[in-house]
């Protein structure tokens, strides 16, 4: 299955990890910062490696995500790669509410707030 990079705000870690675990159950290779970063690692290098290898960037947004400079860099990097014709697809996910960044408003999103399991199935279907 495909490599998936999970981009989220640290305040949404529990929900992002739940999503990452669900995606692993479907057989995806999931990159989640708390699973990949070890003491002494370069955060920037590890993130860059994860983003470079990812076929999908799952952008988890919530009311907490608007002020996250790290998350903004992650999805902007993926969007740039997608627009440049690289093999990455940006998949916005409403994790706990809130709105997607304005530049991504025209991209269909998955809403996990309405029905988590159905949302996960829809996300997995988009990765085929």
Band (pLDDT 50/70/90 cuts) for residue 26 is very high
> What is residue 82's predicted lDDT score, i.e. its pLDDT?
62
What pTM does this model have?
A: 0.82
For residue 96, what is the DSSP state? S
Q: What is the model's pLDDT at position 16?
A: 95
Domain spans of the chain, in order of start: 3-126
Give CATH superfamily name and number for 3-126.
Toll/interleukin-1 receptor homology (TIR) domain (3.40.50.10140)
Measured between alpha carbons, how far is 32 from 23 in angstroms, rounded to an integer? Answer: 11
What's the rounded Cα separation, in Å, for the pair 18 and 14? 6
Residue-level pLDDT at 68: 65
Spatial distance between the Cα atoms of 126 and 27, rounded to a whole number of angstroms? 14
Dihedral over Cα of 43, 18, 69, 49: its sign: positive
Do 63 and 57 form a contact (C-beta atoms < 8 A)? no
**pLDDT averaged over every residue in the chain:** 84
Residue-level pLDDT at 48? 78
Edge-to-edge strands of the sheet including 3-7?
A: 29-31, 3-7, 56-61, 89-94, 110-111
| pLDDT of 87 | 77
**Which residues are annotated as catalytic?**
74
87-101, pLDDT tens digit by residue? 778 899 998 887 777
Q: Which residue has the higher pLDDT, 85 or 44?
A: 44
* Residue 16 to residue 34: CA distance in whole angstroms: 11
Q: Is the pLDDT of residue 78 over 90?
A: no
pLDDT at 40: 93
DSSP classification of residue 95: S
Q: What is the pLDDT of residues 45-66, one digit of tens each?
A: 888 788 888 899 898 888 765 5
What pLDDT shows up at residue 64? 64
């Amino acid at each position: 299955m495909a490599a998936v990079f999970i981009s989220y705000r640290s305040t949404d870690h529990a929900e992002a990890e739940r999503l990452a675990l669900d995606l692993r159950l479907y057989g995806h290779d999931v990159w989640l910062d708390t699973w990949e970063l070890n003491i002494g690692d370069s955060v920037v290098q590890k993130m860059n490696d994860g983003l470079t290898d990812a076929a999908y960037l799952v952008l988890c947004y919530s009311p907490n995500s608007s002020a996250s400079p790290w998350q903004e860099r992650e999805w902007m990097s993926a969007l740039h790669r997608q627009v440049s014709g690289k093999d990455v697809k940006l998949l916005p996910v409403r994790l706990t509410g809130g709105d997607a960044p304005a530049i991504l408003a025209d991209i269909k999103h998955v809403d996990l707030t309405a029905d988590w399991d159905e949302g996960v199935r829809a996300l997995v279907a988009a990765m085929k």
